[in-house]
Amino acid sequence: MDLNFTPEEQAFRAEIRAWVAAHLPADISHKVHNALRLNKDDLQRWAKILGAKGWHGWAWPKQFGGPGWNAIQRHLFEEECAMAGAPRIVPFGPVMVAPVIMAFGSREQQERHLPGIMSGEVWWSQGYSEPSSGSDLASVKTRAERQGDKFIVNGQKTWTTLGQYGDWIFCLVRTDSTGKPQTGISFLLIDMKSPGVTVRPIIMLDGEHEVNEVFFDNVEVPVENLVGEENKGWTYAKYLLAHERTNIADVNRAKRELERLKRIAKLEGLWEDTRFRDQIALLEVDIVALEMMVLRVLSAEKSGKQSLDVAGLLKIRGSEIQQRYTELLMQAGGPFSLPFIHEAMEAGWQGDHVGAAHCAPLASHYFNYRKTTIYGGSNEVQRNIVAQTVLG
Ligand SMILES: Cc1cc2nc3c(=O)[nH]c(=O)nc-3n(C[C@H](O)[C@H](O)[C@H](O)COP(=O)(O)OP(=O)(O)OC[C@H]3O[C@@H](n4cnc5c(N)ncnc54)[C@H](O)[C@@H]3O)c2cc1C
């Protein structure tokens, strides 16, 4: 196993770095480097810039209009974007539903949906969870009843991230209740502008409108929006979840946030405290260990070896590290980070004391990141999966 990058890979990195430096808008990277509020325009502006280059679907094969990069190239692209302060690509379209449509969708679905995802024009949402179906996802109750050439959908999804912007939503729906729960689920693509779809906000601990409830009241969905076969949706759902969990680990963002932590600790003086520097060093070791795990997976993929099923492991470690750096950032900011000032998330907010502009957003960031050990499948449940599939 060779974890060093080849000269070709280093040249590829340099090319990506130069392109991102030339194309990433400075106002967006300022917000990202300071964990400020990103609005829909920020996210979609960057998505469209990438889309115009054919990189919004950076992990896609050439056959579907992607760059056809290998695992190492994809990793280098993600790292360069993260370190430059690019926003995290909203994953629901390019990372989650697109691979499912490529693998299991019809040619018509591929031709209809993939171009809008690649260009960044069409915003997708994920409709998996329901009020009583999260970890136990196979218990979904939202019903889709076949009536001629349509499904009639009734039910509710919840925790739908950024669903307020959604043009389309991919949903797990129940099409059969007779057998095992897993065997009666289908994977449906639903136009969120359809009559009978209602989106209601859920305000999170940090005061932000990030998630939603989505209600379906006799929503008519053409049968051609069914992906693959009826009642086979569970297979497609699991295929998608592996992509989601690897994506959540996000070691590159952790590396960028480590730099921010050091910057704030130096500005606020805690850098002088060796005990605190020990904490930063421990975090750095964990980040390097996570990165090594990611590189091992990539190296195995590159050499065609079967890699361990480590999506769950990456999700657990990545999310814990994300929470840890938000805790240390709060400590580095000290008392200035304590007041929870909603406006401090806006670019340009200065506050009325020295240090306020970089310390005040920390509380919001801290509160927001409590989510990371829950979403994408809670860490407790991931541990169960790792115990069964990796440890045996
Ligand atoms: C910010 C945020 C954004 C989200 N975005 C989306 C989205 O866009 N689309 C979407 O479909 N979903 C989304 N989710 C939902 C997310 O996937 C679920 O919250 C998650 O799967 C957990 O389900 P639950 O909330 O129903 O908790 P529950 O399943 O009710 O679990 C409650 C607690 O019990 C524990 N638990 C449950 N079962 C077990 C077990 N077998 N062994 C040990 N412990 C167990 C869990 O770990 C958890 O601590 C989001 C969630 C959050 C917080």
Calpha distance 209→302 (Å, rounded): 40
Helices (H) and strands (E) in the chain, counts: 13, 8
How far apart are the C-alpha atoms of 360 and 341, rounded to whole Å?
6
> How much is the pLDDT for 308?
57
**Separation of CA 307 and ligand 1 centre (Å):** 27
Beta bridge partners of 285: none
What is the C-alpha to C-alpha distance for residues 309 and 146, in angstroms, rounded to an integer? Answer: 36
The rounded Å distance from CA 265 to ligand 1 centre is 34
Helix (H, G, I), strand (E, B) or coil at 183: helix
Indicate the DSSP class of residue 5: P
Contact 344, 360 (CB under 8 A): yes
| Residue 391 Cα to ligand 1 middle (Å) | 23
18 Cα–ligand 1 center, Å:
39
- pLDDT tens digits for 117-129? 999 999 999 999 9
Instruction: Please name the residues in contact with 73: beta carbons below 8 A apart, sequence gap of 6 or more.
Output: 9, 12, 67
- With a 6 A CB cut-off, is 135 part of the ligand 1 pocket? yes
Rg, Å, the chain Cα set? 21
The CB of 380 under 6 Å from ligand 1? The reply is yes
State whether the beta carbon of 378 lies less than 6 angstroms from ligand 1: yes
Query: What's the pTM?
Result: 0.94
Q: Is 377 in the pocket of ligand 1 (CB under 6 A)?
A: yes
In order along its 392 residues, the chain shows pLDDT tens digits of: 566 789 999 999 999 999 999 999 999 999 999 889 999 999 999 999 999 999 999 999 999 999 999 988 999 999 999 999 999 999 999 999 999 999 999 999 999 999 999 999 999 999 999 999 999 999 999 999 999 999 999 999 999 999 999 999 999 999 999 999 999 999 999 999 999 999 999 999 888 999 999 999 999 999 999 999 999 999 999 888 766 666 677 899 999 999 999 999 999 999 999 999 999 999 999 999 999 888 888 777 777 665 556 888 888 999 999 999 999 999 999 988 887 888 888 888 877 666 677 888 899 899 999 999 999 889 999 999 889 887 77
Say if ligand 1 is within 6 A of residue 159 CB: yes
Quote the pLDDT of residue 351.
73
**Domains observed in the chain:** 7-89 (no CATH), 124-231 (2.40.110.10), 250-391 (1.20.140.10)
Protein residue with its CA nearest to atom 13 in ligand 1 = 159
> Which atom number of ligand 1 is nearest to the Cα of residue 377?
21
Of 76, 72, 79, 103, the closest CA to residue 300 belongs to: 72
Probe ligand 1: pick from 375, 382, 386, max atoms within 8 Å of CB? 375
How does DSSP assign 272-334, residue by residue?
A: G-HHHHHHHHHHHHHHHHHHHHHHHHHHHHHTTPPPP--HHHHHHHHHHHHHHHHHHHHHHHG
**Which tokens go with 134?**
């999260």
Q: Which two tokens stand for residue 330?
A: 């709060």
How far apart CA 343 and CA 361 sit, in angstroms, is 9
d(CA 154, CA 218): 5
Ligand 1, atom nearest to 126 Cα: 9
CA dist 210 and 125 (Å) reads: 12
User: Which atom of ligand 1 lies closest to the CA of 163?
Assistant: 8
pLDDT at site 307: 58
**For residue 246, what pLDDT is reported?**
62
Count of other CB atoms within 10 angstroms of residue 177: 9
Residue nearest to atom 27 of ligand 1 (CA): 134
Of residues 307, 323, 187, 206, the one with CA closest to residue 253? 323
